[in-house]
Amino acid sequence: MAFDYDLFVVGAGSGGLSAAKQAASYGARVAIAEQDLVGGTCAVRGCIPKKLMVYASRFPALFHNAAGYGWNAGQPSLDWEYFIAAVDQEVRRLSHLHSGYLNKTGVELIQHHATFLGPHTLEVGDRKVSAAKILIAVGGRPLKPDFPGMEYAITSDQMFHLPHQPQHLAIIGAGYIGVEFASIMNGLGTQVTQIIRQDQILRGFEADIQTRVQSGLTQHGVQILTNTLVKQVEPVPEGLKLILTGDEKEAITADVVLAATGRVPNVETLGLENAGVDVVHSSLEGPGYSAKGAIAVDEYSRTSQPNIFAVGDCTNRINLTPVAIGEGRAFADTEFGHHRRAMSYQNVPSAVFSTPEAATVGMSEALAREKFGDSVKCYRSQHRPLFHSLTGQDEQTLIKLVVDCQSERVLGAHMVGEQAAEIIQGMAIAINMGATKKDFDRTLGIHPTTAEEFVTLR
Does 194 reside within a domain?
yes
Domain that holds residue 168: 150-260
Does 317 reside within a domain?
yes
- H helical segments located in 220-339: 272-275, 321-336
Task: Please identify, among 233, 260, 287, the residue that sits at the C-terminal boundary of a domain.
Answer: 260
Give the pLDDT confidence score for residue 290 in this predicted structure: 44
Whether residues 248 and 270 share a domain: the answer is: no
Whether residues 227 and 180 share a domain: the answer is: yes
Whether residues 123 and 12 share a domain: the answer is: yes
Task: Please identify, among 308, 336, 364, the residue that sits at the C-terminal boundary of a domain.
Answer: 336
Task: Please identify, among 277, 302, 336, the residue that sits at the C-terminal boundary of a domain.
Answer: 336
Give the pLDDT confidence score for residue 284 in this predicted structure: 44
Per-residue pLDDT of the chain in tens (458 residues, 90 and over written 9): 799 999 999 999 999 999 999 999 999 999 999 999 999 999 999 999 999 999 999 999 999 999 999 999 889 999 999 999 999 999 999 999 999 999 999 999 999 999 999 999 999 999 999 999 999 999 999 999 999 999 999 999 999 999 999 999 999 999 999 999 999 999 999 999 999 999 999 999 999 999 999 999 999 999 999 999 999 999 999 999 999 999 999 999 999 999 999 999 999 999 999 999 999 875 444 333 344 689 999 999 999 999 999 999 999 789 999 999 999 999 999 999 999 999 999 999 999 999 999 999 999 999 999 999 999 999 999 999 999 999 999 999 999 999 999 999 999 999 999 999 999 999 999 999 999 999 999 999 999 999 999 999 99
CATH code assigned at 447:
3.30.390.30
Give the pLDDT confidence score for residue 293 in this predicted structure: 84
Give the active site residue among 120, 220, 339, 447.
447
Does 433 reside within a domain?
yes
- Distance in angstroms (rounded) separating the CA atoms of residues 88 and 69: 34
Q: How many CB atoms lie within 10 A of CB 230?
A: 26
Whether residues 122 and 159 share a domain: the answer is: no
- Distance in angstroms (rounded) separating the CA atoms of residues 380 and 271: 51
Integer-rounded Cα Rg, in Å, for the chain is: 23
In degrees, rounded to 5, the angle at the alpha carbon of residue 47 between the alpha carbons of residues 46 and 50 is: 75
Does 346 reside within a domain?
no
Whether residues 433 and 366 share a domain: the answer is: yes
Does 345 reside within a domain?
no
How many residues make up the chain in this entry? 458
- Distant-in-sequence, close-in-space partners of 335: CB < 8 Å, separation ≥ 6: 7, 23, 133, 309
Whether residues 11 and 137 share a domain: the answer is: yes
- Distance in angstroms (rounded) separating the CA atoms of residues 47 and 355: 16
Whether residues 282 and 311 share a domain: the answer is: yes
Give the number of C-alpha atoms closer than 13 A to the C-alpha of residue 282, restricted to the C-beta side: 20
Does 196 reside within a domain?
yes
Whether residues 31 and 111 share a domain: the answer is: yes
Give the number of C-alpha atoms closer than 13 A to the C-alpha of residue 290, restricted to the C-beta side: 9
Whether the model pTM is above 0.85? yes
391 near 410, Cβ under 8 Å? no
CATH code assigned at 201:
3.50.50.60
For 11-139, strand residue ranges (E) read: 30-33, 108-110, 114-116, 121-124, 127-136
- Distance in angstroms (rounded) separating the CA atoms of residues 315 and 301: 9
What percentage of the chain's residues is helix, strand, coil (to nearest 5)? 35, 25, 40
Whether residues 165 and 125 share a domain: the answer is: no
Whether residues 135 and 14 share a domain: the answer is: yes
Give the pLDDT confidence score for residue 283 in this predicted structure: 47
Does 48 reside within a domain?
yes
Whether residues 173 and 119 share a domain: the answer is: no
Q: Is 164 a catalytic residue?
A: no
- Distance in angstroms (rounded) separating the CA atoms of residues 62 and 64: 5
Does 341 reside within a domain?
no
Question: How many domains would you assign to the chain?
Answer: 3
Whether residues 88 and 107 share a domain: the answer is: yes
- Distance in angstroms (rounded) separating the CA atoms of residues 88 and 116: 32
